[in-house]
């Protein structure tokens, strides 16, 4: 099957979803631009010693997170201090990174390329490497009209590939669209109610995050990561992190900004018995969350309806060798 033939050229907003934050008005979406972004995403030559690609830390089978890695592993096996977040539905994001330190999808790729513990390369060297490669030159021409390689075009092609990574085909989505065979079981319905009462304020439908920065009461560890305050320098933002989506949790473990939890059970135990009081703890969580064992099981059944297997297996997002 010709993978290219199935590539769409339009960005489709799933039924019932809000308008995306980034919609390609200043970045004409094309098959060629998407393919260029995909090629770069999987290309280790974007790192200093040609060993690490974006795909090393953002693996499709893991919802484009890095499975089994509490914190990311980059060049020379160096460790970062944060968990690689999954990558999907990025065009709805209002900011990027756990602390929201990057405010535009097109500015995002420069950060890992230049980060000394991630890819440790300069944009100038990336441009030189790609310019020296005839395949890239022809791909830049196909995407942008001529063979010029520059950081702006690199950023735009990345945004075309990453933005197209949409996950909207979980059982939950099919149920919402009324598709055949997607009716919720009684347990999933019960879990949906538990979710609405306890989690929906921050993990809001249909993206399962409102992209707000909150302190959900995680006790500090050895790394004193101040979260949002790292960017705003405001004490009111201490230990607040961008609320992650609850979609695709089956694939994206471990959880939280530092990957401290390996299972949903550990996450739920945190919310019921582990919340640490502090001045910036979110009001919603100041009394903790009370869940019976049955409510926990029901909630887990509902969370399972948010796993989108079609997305993690979608050949469109795979490396083309």
Residue 57 binding ligand HEC, by CB under 6 A? yes
* Of positions 34, 92, 96, 144, contacts ligand HEC by CB under 6 A: 96
* Of positions 36, 90, 155, 275, contacts ligand HEC by CB under 6 A: 90
CB 274 within 8 A of CB 280: no
Please state, in angstroms and rounded to a whole number, the distance separating the CA atoms of residues 32 and 154: 13
The region of 17-25, 104-112, 172-180, 184-192 touching ligand HEC under the rule CB under 6 A is: 104-112
Please state, in angstroms and rounded to a whole number, the distance separating the CA atoms of residues 61 and 48: 26
Contacts of 256-264 spanning 24+ positions with Cβ under 8 A? 256/83, 256/218, 257/82, 257/83, 257/98, 257/225, 257/227, 258/70, 258/71, 258/81, 258/82, 258/83, 258/221, 258/223, 258/225, 259/69, 259/70, 259/71, 259/83, 260/70, 260/218, 260/221, 264/300, 264/303
Residue 306 binding ligand HEC, by CB under 6 A? no
Residue 311 binding ligand HEC, by CB under 6 A? no
Residue 58 binding ligand HEC, by CB under 6 A? yes
CB 162 within 8 A of CB 60: no
* Of positions 62, 243, 295, 305, contacts ligand HEC by CB under 6 A: 243
Please state, in angstroms and rounded to a whole number, the distance separating the CA atoms of residues 136 and 46: 13
Residue 80 binding ligand HEC, by CB under 6 A? yes
The region of 10-18, 128-136, 173-181, 246-254 touching ligand HEC under the rule CB under 6 A is: 246-254
Residue 252 binding ligand HEC, by CB under 6 A? yes
CB 261 within 8 A of CB 270: yes
* Of positions 24, 27, 106, 109, contacts ligand HEC by CB under 6 A: 109
Site for ligand HEC in 144-203 (CB under 6 A): 158, 162, 198-199, 201-203
Interface residues with ligand HEC (CB under 6 A)? 41, 46, 52, 54, 56-58, 72, 74, 80, 82, 84-85, 87, 90, 96-99, 108-109, 112-113, 118-119, 158, 162, 198-199, 201-203, 214, 216, 218, 241, 243-244, 246, 249, 252, 255-257, 267, 271, 282, 284-285, 289
């Amino acid at each position: 099957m010709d993978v290219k033939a199935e590539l769409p050229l339009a960005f489709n907003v799933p039924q019932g979803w809000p308008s995306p934050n980034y919609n390609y008005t200043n970045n004409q979406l094309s098959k060629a631009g998407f393919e260029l972004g995909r090629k770069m995403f999987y290309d280790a030559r974007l790192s200093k010693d040609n060993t690490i690609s974006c795909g090393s830390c953002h693996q499709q089978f893991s919802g484009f997170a890095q499975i089994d890695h509490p914190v990311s592993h980059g060049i020379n096996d160096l460790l970062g201090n944060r968990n690689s977040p999954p990558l999907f539905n990025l065009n709805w994001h209002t900011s990027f990174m756990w602390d929201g330190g990057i405010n535009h999808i097109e500015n995002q790729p420069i950060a890992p390329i230049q980060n000394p513990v991630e890819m440790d390369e300069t944009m100038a060297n990336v441009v030189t490497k790609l310019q020296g490669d005839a395949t890239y030159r022809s791909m830049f021409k196909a995407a942008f009209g001529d063979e010029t390689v520059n950081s702006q075009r690199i950023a735009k092609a990345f945004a075309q590939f990453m933005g197209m990574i949409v996950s909207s085909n979980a059982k939950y989505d099919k149920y919402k669209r009324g598709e055949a065979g997607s009716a919720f079981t009684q347990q999933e319905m019960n879990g949906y109610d538990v979710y609405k009462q306890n989690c929906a304020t921050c993990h809001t439908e249909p993206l399962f995050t409102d992209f707000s920065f909150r302190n959900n009461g995680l006790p500090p560890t050895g790394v004193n990561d101040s979260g949002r305050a790292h960017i705003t320098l405001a004490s009111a933002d201490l230990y607040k992190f961008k609320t992650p989506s609850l979609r695709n949790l089956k694939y994206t473990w471990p959880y939280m900004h530092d990957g401290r939890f390996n299972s949903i059970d550990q996450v739920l135990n945190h919310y019921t018995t582990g919340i640490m009081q502090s001045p910036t703890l979110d009001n919603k969580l100041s009394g903790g969350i009370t869940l019976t064992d049955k409510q926990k099981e029901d909630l887990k059944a509902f969370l399972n309806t948010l796993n989108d297997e079609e997305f993690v297996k979608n050949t469109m997002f795979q490396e083309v060798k």
